[in-house]
Amino acid sequence: MKEMKLTPGHFLAPGYYMDYWLKLIEAKYPMDFIEKSVKLKQYRELWLGAVFGASLTKTTNQKHYVGLPQDEPSDIVIRRYVPTTTPKGTPATNAQNMQIQITRCNLDAGETLIGQIANKNKPAYKNTILLVHLQGFGQSINFSKTIDYLKNLNTVYPMEVIVIGRIDKSTKESYKPGTFIEHMVYPDVGYAEVNLTDTKAFFTFPPIITTTQLGASRELKSFGKVLLLPPDIK
């Protein structure tokens, strides 16, 4: 079995990464440490990206992978592979990337959804998708107020703004455990949900994938059985 570290250029199946997260991070470290540790920042961002990738997979019926970017300002990249042909008619694969910027909104810490979005509404994040990780239950969320706020701005730099929260035992019992709720608040308004038990959305194979070439002639390469190494926490 091949051992690998998290590196740019490798893209992970949402279900594969979620299993990694649950077994090697959530099961081993206190949640307070997970949410605050600088050494786990990329792992947290990939976790939220895995949820978003699974939701896109469910919505579009096309596999979406999550990976680290080659450079800033993106925190992560969501990638899907679309069959195409080269100018000579040879079958190939076209990689389509979504550049993702991530922020959090911790209600228990007094943060507000509008305030956290405003902090990321900067020219540096133009052409990115802003994912807001909703944490805590210190106050109710007025999505209509947030939507109106964004509509009335002269300029909104992110292409899309999407709020994602995880349902747990302290929230509505009508949801199954392991459910993630997704609210799009800009430019359109939308709602989606995805559950960890949805194995088509949280697919696990191929677990890690890359491309062998650049350009339209790229070919997919699966690493088969892979052991993603745990975080280096000392």
Is the preceding peptide bond at 73 cis, omega within 30 degrees of 0?
A: yes
Is the confidence at residue 228, as pLDDT, over 60?
yes
Is the preceding peptide bond at 206 cis, omega within 30 degrees of 0?
A: yes
How do 160-166 and 190-195 pair as beta strands?
unpaired
The C-alpha atoms of residue 23 and residue 26 are separated, in whole angstroms, by 6
Token readout for 132 is 């807001």
Q: What is the pLDDT of residues 157-206, one digit of tens each?
A: 999 999 999 986 555 557 788 999 999 999 999 999 999 999 999 999 98
* pLDDT of the residue at 172: 54
* pLDDT of the residue at 210: 80
Coil, strand, or helix at residue 231?
Answer: coil
User: Listing from the earlier edge strand, what are the strands of the sheet with 64-67?
Assistant: 190-195, 179-186, 160-166, 129-135, 91-106, 76-85, 64-67, 11-12, 208-211, 220-222
User: What is the rounded average pLDDT of the residues 40-54?
Assistant: 97
Question: Residue 211: in which H helix or E strand, if any?
Answer: strand 208-211
* pLDDT of the residue at 91: 82
Coil, strand, or helix at residue 51?
Answer: helix
* Angle subtended at Cα 99 by Cα 64 and Cα 93, rounded to the nearest 5 degrees: 45
Question: Residue 64: in which H helix or E strand, if any?
Answer: strand 64-67
* pTM score, whole prediction: 0.91
Is the preceding peptide bond at 87 cis, omega within 30 degrees of 0?
A: no
Q: How far is CA 84 from CA 62, 87, 216, in A?
A: 15, 10, 8
Half-sphere exposure of residue 189: CA atoms within 13 angstroms, side-chain side: 9
The C-alpha atoms of residue 87 and residue 96 are separated, in whole angstroms, by 18
* pLDDT of the residue at 42: 95
* pLDDT of the residue at 139: 58
* pLDDT of the residue at 219: 55
Q: What is the pLDDT of residues 101-132, one digit of tens each?
A: 999 999 888 899 999 999 999 999 999 999 99
Is the confidence at residue 217, as pLDDT, over 50?
no
Eight-class DSSP state of 26 = I
User: What is the rounded average pLDDT of the residues 220-227?
Assistant: 68
Is the preceding peptide bond at 207 cis, omega within 30 degrees of 0?
A: no
Return mean pLDDT, the chain: 89
Compute φ and ψ for 209, nearest 5 degrees.
Answer: -140, 155
Eight-class DSSP state of 14 = H
Tokens 């959305």 label which residue?
201
Is the confidence at residue 216, as pLDDT, over 50?
no
